[in-house]
Amino acid sequence: MMREYSNEDDCTKEKTNLVKSENVEADNYLEMEHLTYLAKLISMTERENHHLNSIKLIDDIIELHNDRKGNKLLWNDNWQDKIIDRDLQSIFKKIDEMVSEFGGLEAYKDIVGESPYDPTEPVCGYSAQNIFKLMTEGEYAVDPVKMAKTGKINGNQFAEKLEHLNSSNNYVALINDHRLGHMFLVDIPSTNRERVGYIYQSDLGDGALPALKIADWLKSRGKESINVNKLKKFLNDEFTMLPENEQKGLIAEIFDLNKDIDSVKSGKIKKDKAVDIYLREYDINDFISNVEKLKTKLA
């Protein structure tokens, strides 16, 4: 039924109001679109900034590792002091004393096979625990050995905790996988999207995984994120119940430099062993500051 108007002015007013209403709806829609775009842009900027920081930090760790002095500062079992307070003079004095006990440098090299003054390759525990200190230490020293013993959780508990992490915060997990005979670190940065992790690791190759140098990993796979759902699946108690090929495929995807399934030694996986995890929040500014302070000691 067509609406009747008492006069032409009423008709004109209604049409004007209708146009205004449509314009308001259009403006509201555009405003919502704009706000949504800004939220996405902020989220992308935050992720990009963290990713750029992470890449810079990884490159700095590689630089420290390859440096004669930096190597000794990084890979050390002095847990009671802050990593930035490690003293190069004391470190090299201990090396001098050790060399003297062997009867000199040449005698040492004949027996051990390398010079103790040269940069060394850290075992998996050394790399994971020392980078954990580097990431988490602020005002006080952090002892990763003690902390991992007192606050450890298993893989299933880790999966539950991941569901409730504050998306605005950064977290790091120190993981001792007794099944593989391997210790590694997972950086879990803040994000407004799906959680991802970045793995820090090295390996002597005595367990289920092949030998791996820390710098080789960091230069390539260390800058590549891993979906935390895959990590949760690997750390779950039921992982060892999966078909062998599925186990090897997941291990290779997460840990092997070339994601080569044939490099995984499934016969060395100890299915009856546990996974110990220590999860902690960290401040990216502390991480950056600690790395920069170590770099100043290289001069």
Catalytic residue among 11, 65, 80, 124: 124
* 51 carries an active-site annotation: no
* 178 carries an active-site annotation: no
* 124 carries an active-site annotation: yes
pLDDT in tens, 217-273: 999 999 999 999 999 999 999 999 999 999 999 999 999 999 999 999 999 999 999
Catalytic residue among 34, 89, 157, 201: 201
Residue 23 pLDDT more than 80? Answer: no
Position 148 confidence tier, pLDDT thresholds 50, 70, 90: confident
Q: Where are the domains of the chain?
A: 48-84+121-298
Q: Which amino acid appears at position 94 of this protein? A: K
pLDDT in tens, 86-118: 999 999 999 999 999 999 999 999 999 999 999
Catalytic residue among 65, 129, 182, 247: 182
Per-residue pLDDT at 195: 82
Position 3 confidence tier, pLDDT thresholds 50, 70, 90: low
